């Protein structure tokens, strides 16, 4: 026979000994979680910024390569400078253009692409360096980047 007074009871609290979490422990846990979530948010914002910068860099590389292809296709054209070119209707326009007219038409179309794909304030320049017996074209694409004082640029050198 079991005596009811001799059986130990579990899970009962005596006055003065509380079970569970205190309010201070809960607040400390919330502060730790808040700091962690702020860190995750900062990493997310930095990831967005890096993605935008990578997109601009990719566009600049593509644009510089496009201008290099245009120069290769029309090596006699006057590409030096910063544009702005003119819409001479040389491409799909049914017009026979001289090399310099084609170069101005290329600049016009290329700057339009540059303005669509890079942020406002983007610029481009083509320098020609005579390194006999070759000619070197230096294509530079620059654009403003948020958080930087100086514009970011990409330069491509083409030798013909």
| Burial per residue of 102-140, b for 16 or more beta-carbon CB atoms within 10 angstroms, e otherwise | bbbbbbbbbbeebeebbeeebbbebeeeeeeeeeebebb
Global pTM?
0.73
What is residue 95's three-state secondary structure? coil
List the one residue out of 154, 129, 160 whose CA is nearest residue 142.
154
Q: What is the pLDDT along the chain (160 residues), one digit of tens a residue?
A: 555 555 555 555 566 666 777 889 899 999 999 999 999 999 999 898 889 899 999 999 999 999 999 999 988 888 888 878 888 888 766 778 888 889 999 999 999 999 999 999 999 999 999 888 999 999 999 999 988 889 999 999 999 8
All residues at 6 or more sequence positions from 12 whose CB lies less than 8 Å from its CB, including other chains:
none
Cα 77 to Cα 160: distance, rounded to the nearest angstrom: 13
Q: Which regions of the chain does DSSP assign to beta strands (E)?
A: 123-131, 134-143, 152-159
120 close to 73: Cβ distance less than 8 angstroms? no
All residues at 6 or more sequence positions from 6 whose CB lies less than 8 Å from its CB, including other chains:
none
Cα 8 to Cα 129: distance, rounded to the nearest angstrom: 97
How many DSSP H helices and E strands does the chain contain? Answer: 2, 3
List the one residue out of 99, 70, 103 whose CA is nearest residue 87.
103
């Amino acid at each position: 026979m079991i005596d009811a007074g001799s059986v130990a009871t579990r899970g009962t609290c005596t006055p003065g000994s509380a079970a569970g979490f205190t309010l201070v422990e809960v607040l400390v846990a919330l502060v730790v979680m808040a700091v962690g979530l702020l860190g995750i948010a900062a990493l997310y914002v930095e990831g967005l910024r890096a993605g935008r910068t990578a997109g601009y860099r990719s566009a600049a590389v593509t644009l510089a390569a496009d201008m290099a292809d245009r120069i290769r296709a029309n090596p006699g054209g006057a590409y030096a400078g910063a544009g702005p070119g003119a819409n001479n209707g040389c491409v799909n326009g049914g017009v026979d253009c001289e090399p310099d007219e084609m170069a101005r038409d290329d600049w016009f179309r290329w700057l339009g692409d540059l303005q669509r794909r890079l942020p406002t304030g983007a610029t481009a320049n083509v320098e020609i360096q005579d390194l006999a017996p070759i000619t070197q074209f230096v294509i530079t694409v620059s654009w403003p980047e948020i958080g930087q004082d100086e514009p970011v640029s990409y330069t491509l050198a083409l030798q013909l």
